[in-house]
Amino acid sequence: MLNIKQYRDKSKGLPDLLNIAILLGSFQTNAGEAALALQKDGSFLAGVSFEGPDLESLGTRDIEALSGAWNNALSRIGTGWGVHVTAIREPSGGYIPGEDNRFPSAIPALVDAERRAQHGGEDHHFVSRYYMTLTWQTPEDAESGLGEAMIIRGTAASAETGESEALRDTFNKYQGAFETVIGILKSWYRIRALDADALLTHIHECLSGNNHKINAPRIPAYLDAVLGHHDFIGGLEPAMDGVPFRIVTAIGFPVMTFPEILESLHSMPFPMRYTVRFLPLDQVDATKLMGKIRDKWFGSRSSLKSMVAEKVSGEAQGNLSADDTVVNLAYDAKQAIHEANEGALRYGFFSLGVVLRSEHRKVLDERVKTIKDFFDNSGFNAYLETTNTVEAFLGSIPGHLWENVRRPLIHSLNFADFAPKTAIWAGEERCPSPLMKMSDGRKAPPLMMATTTGNTPMRVNLHVGDLGHSLVLGPTGAGKSTFLALLALQWMRYEGARMISFDKGMSMYAATMASHGQHYDILGEHTDLSFAPLQHIERPEDNRFACEWLEGCAVLQGMKITTEERSVIRDAVASLTRETGRSLTDLVQLTQDQRLKNAFRFYTLEGNAGKLLDAEKDGLDLSAKFITFELEHLLQGSEQAKLITVPTLLYLFHRIEQMLDGRPTMILLDEAWVMMDNPMFLAKIREWLKVLRKKNAVVVFATQSLMDMKDSPLLPVLQESCPTKIFLPNREATSQLLQPMYHSMGLNARQIELLAASTPKRDYYLFTPDGQRRIQLQMGPVTLAFTGVSDPREVKRIRELCNLHGHRWPIAWLQERLPYNAQDWISVAEELFRHFEEEPQ
């Protein structure tokens, strides 16, 4: 006879321990569409992910206000609710994958290889993600209505069709409270509601430690079995799927809390999950419970002996014999009742747990010790869960309110201090612009990697959405030129990327020549360059530009153009279209107005600008992938020099706009205020920036002239069009002269203090609407050999090496520049040259 008893074992498995049951559907919130789960105990569950502000960038008042926002949000819910706030620390995924790079030449690839080596391995860098879930234990009558609806309809649709008025009211109450809580926090955080897949993925990750997507089943039921398919071992040495884990909690608290007391916990240099849970109580429930606590301590204020003596003598002895500690505890309970009655705080039950996992027990033990030491040093009493491990673990899973309820009460402001509120911003894993795509359709990688505090990497992207225009601001000697050169070399990682730089001081010369680019030193002794702005006026767009450009030249000469003179210009350009010679000299001969002739003559060989602008054929070649215009000689001189500078730059910008075809293009404008200090630019710059944005071009404005920027009428346009700003260290940032200017750029007092305390040429402050962070670029000797070069003697030496070695001059340059311990990079450079099989462009 078959013994089937052994197959009817009723011991519980992991799915039996989980509370989640089914997905009811979703609802719209002010943070997107949120999935709604129904749990076995009749409770509703939904959640959000959030990204907090940078702790280092927050002043004392800011972080206090942040805790205040959490307190304000939690005071809107009470008995029956539960809040889980979770920070998950995980490996960052390493440096930018090599297969995502499309470097066209050896030196940009070499610079990136050095940066990859400095960045270190995948296990050295970590990032954090943050979640909050709200659980509400629905009233018993709502549970009955929901059960009836599920039996009759098989879904929760009856709640929407009016079959259960009570159920609809219950759901509306949950949705209203959910939106109220996240609405209060939304002013401080970027919040995204968890849809069905994201909610299940989050719960599964908290359960198993595995970060992979869980797709919601087509029939969204039996979710405990969907998520609980793991081998779970409890006891003193718990494990999940054979991987040991431990839970460290705090069972004692410091005398006082402050907002940043645990903020460093979720910045540890190893993977972990840190979860805090708060079970708030209504005012009546809280005061009732605290009243019992008050009475308990008040009744214990005197010993039995003193109470007998008091009874016999008939005299009060309590004040002399009472235990001061007990009296103080009774007073604390009385004070807590007063605070709860005021309604500004919400009292409730609190639990905290740090879940650590590792396949190596020695590593796990070391991490446990690190966390315990952190708690102990912060004034907590840390405890490694042993016999209570299973209950403590389940209590840290979103949606679980019954397990591991610690009875001592704390108020919502204490909980706000304990919760992970801030973040170390790590940037987007991929370039956020939809225009920046790779050939296989994937999003492009970030522009470059940097480092920051807490072993957290920084993925630097200039783009905010599809807008990448940026400002680089800082004083002389703070590292601006080096940063721009690195920016240019790293930009070349994108497929089809082009770089156009307007430089001042030859700081871009080494990077340009090392990338086999084209370097134009306008009006310099080493460049014989002249332009023919009217060469292609047979094309409609060039014809329109020529008329506007000539009108601008006349205005620069002091003319006020009338309608008749504008018509004369158009006629002259039309006549020139039929001629073979199209220089400015040819135009003057065809112009029928003497005042215009005199104005245009300044730009011919008869005038001061003829050498540059009166060519028969244009000498500008824009076919190279890296092009630099050195403007030192063009910009120097008297006010009369602007009569040449403005037309030249307008023509160059026109040519650049014509070459844009959707390929990623970066345009660097160093000392932009000097170039654009003219009303003619102000009229065009706003429209120009919009055009470049649509054509996948990024403009980076850089300046050291902070006071010139403050007074420039161009500033409002750039503040509107440049969401990304990079601030360089400035010891004078807190001065009365500069502090208002930094405030106008969006910085708070703490951020301005950071600029003043940062180290020049090492620290940079990245400021975007998505996040702010002080970063370091960690440039090694190879990178500095091509980005930190501007001395005239160095530039001269590079020219000599170019003449001696041709396109392989960087190898000879590295042999001269690199220290002994970095000479191995020379062989890497030689290998890269062979790989790219470079020839002069």
Whole-angstrom distance, CA of residue 563 vs CA of residue 206? 73
**What residue type is 117 in one-letter code?**
A
Q: How many helices (H) and strands (E) does the chain have?
A: 34, 24
pLDDT tens track for 266-321: 889 899 999 999 999 988 777 777 666 555 555 555 554 554 555 555 555 444 44
Token look-up 């219950």 returns 170
CB 354 within 8 A of CB 249: yes
Q: Which two tokens stand for residue 807?
A: 């396109």
Whole-angstrom distance, CA of residue 175 vs CA of residue 467? 35
Distances, alpha carbon 530 to alpha carbons 501, 526, 600, 655, 707, in Å = 18, 13, 17, 14, 34
Question: Who wins on pLDDT, 271 or 683?
Answer: 271
pLDDT of 472 > 80? The answer is: yes
pLDDT of 482 > 60? The answer is: yes
pLDDT of residue 71: 92
Element of type H or E holding 805: helix 792-805
With DSSP H G I counted as helix, E B as strand and the rest as coil, what are the percentages for the chain, rounded to 5?
45, 20, 35
Most confident range (mean pLDDT) of 119-128, 478-487, 631-640 is: 478-487
Q: How confident is the model at residue 638 (pLDDT cuts 50, 70, 90)?
A: low
Q: Which two tokens stand for residue 148?
A: 């009836």
pLDDT of residue 719: 86
CB 493 within 8 A of CB 112: yes
Whole-angstrom distance, CA of residue 277 vs CA of residue 273? 13
Distances, alpha carbon 199 to alpha carbons 33, 174, 214, 230, 241, in Å = 11, 17, 9, 18, 22
Q: Which two tokens stand for residue 669?
A: 């404008």
Whole-angstrom distance, CA of residue 497 vs CA of residue 323? 77
Give the up-direction half-sphere exposure of residue 51: CA atoms within 13 A in the CB hemisphere.
12
Q: How confident is the model at residue 841 (pLDDT cuts 50, 70, 90)?
A: very low
Percent of the chain at pLDDT exceeding 90: 67
Average pLDDT over residues 460-474: 95
DSSP 613: H
pLDDT of residue 337: 54
pLDDT of residue 536: 93
pLDDT of 331 > 60? The answer is: no
Whole-angstrom distance, CA of residue 802 vs CA of residue 840? 11
pLDDT of residue 406: 84
Most confident range (mean pLDDT) of 149-158, 294-303, 518-527 is: 518-527
Q: Backbone dihedral region of 169: left (phi > 0), alpha (psi from -120 to 50 degrees) or beta?
A: alpha
- For residue 151, give every residue at least 6 positions away whose Cβ sits within 8 Å of its Cβ, in sequence order, or none: none
pLDDT of 816 > 50? The answer is: yes
Q: Which two tokens stand for residue 832?
A: 């890269």
Average pLDDT over residues 515-541: 92
Average pLDDT over residues 608-622: 91
Q: Which of 12-16, 38-42, 49-53, 328-332 has the lowest mean pLDDT?
A: 328-332
Short-list 650, 444, 403, CA closest to 549? 650
DSSP 614: -
Residue 355 CB burial class (10 angstroms; 0-12, 13-18, ≥19): buried
CB 380 within 8 A of CB 250: yes
Whole-angstrom distance, CA of residue 138 vs CA of residue 583? 83
pLDDT of residue 711: 74
Q: How confident is the model at residue 2 (pLDDT cuts 50, 70, 90)?
A: low
Distances, alpha carbon 618 to alpha carbons 58, 613, 621, 655, in Å = 54, 9, 8, 11
3-class secondary structure for 563-588?
Answer: HHHHHHHHHHHHHHHCCCCCCHHHHH
pLDDT of residue 67: 92
Whole-angstrom distance, CA of residue 367 vs CA of residue 362? 9
Whole-angstrom distance, CA of residue 22 vs CA of residue 349? 27
**What residue type is 269 in one-letter code?**
P
pLDDT tens track for 203-253: 999 999 999 999 999 999 999 999 999 999 998 899 999 999 999 998 888
pLDDT of 159 > 50? The answer is: no
So where are the chain's domains? 16-281+346-418, 284-342, 532-619
Task: Return the CA Rg of the chain.
Answer: 34
DSSP 437: B
- For residue 154, give every residue at least 6 positions away whose Cβ sits within 8 Å of its Cβ, in sequence order, or none: none
pLDDT tens track for 499-512: 999 999 999 999 99
Whole-angstrom distance, CA of residue 79 vs CA of residue 571? 83
Question: Who wins on pLDDT, 599 or 639?
Answer: 599
CB 230 within 8 A of CB 15: no
Other C-beta atoms closer than 10 Å to the C-beta of 830 total 14
Residue 630 CB burial class (10 angstroms; 0-12, 13-18, ≥19): buried
Whole-angstrom distance, CA of residue 617 vs CA of residue 718? 35
- For residue 801, give every residue at least 6 positions away whose Cβ sits within 8 Å of its Cβ, in sequence order, or none: 809, 812, 813
Q: Which two tokens stand for residue 517?
A: 């680019």
Average pLDDT over residues 744-752: 93
Taken in order 716, 721, 724, 728, is the CA torsion positive or negative? negative
pLDDT of residue 156: 43
Torsion of CA 555, 560, 562, 564, to 10 degrees: -60
Beta strand extents in 312-445 (DSSP E only): 347-357, 381-384, 409-411
278 - beta bridge partners? Answer: 83, 350
Q: Which two tokens stand for residue 301?
A: 């204020």
Q: Which of 144-158, 401-415, 784-798 has the lowest mean pLDDT?
A: 144-158
pLDDT of 615 > 70? The answer is: yes
Q: How confident is the model at residue 335 (pLDDT cuts 50, 70, 90)?
A: low
Whole-angstrom distance, CA of residue 473 vs CA of residue 779? 20
CB 670 within 8 A of CB 502: yes
In the three-class reduction of DSSP (H, G, I as helix; E, B as strand; rest coil), residue 665 is classed as: strand
Average pLDDT over residues 453-462: 87
**Taking the model in full, what pTM does it have?**
0.87
Q: How confident is the model at residue 430 (pLDDT cuts 50, 70, 90)?
A: very high
Average pLDDT over residues 507-518: 96
Q: How many residues does the chain have?
A: 841
Most confident range (mean pLDDT) of 50-59, 487-496, 600-609 is: 487-496
Whole-angstrom distance, CA of residue 305 vs CA of residue 255? 32
131 - beta bridge partners? Answer: 49, 86
Short-list 418, 95, 324, 50, CA closest to 202? 50
Question: Who wins on pLDDT, 343 or 166?
Answer: 166
CB 76 within 8 A of CB 134: no
Q: Which two tokens stand for residue 748?
A: 């708070």
pLDDT of 809 > 80? The answer is: yes
pLDDT of 672 > 90? The answer is: no
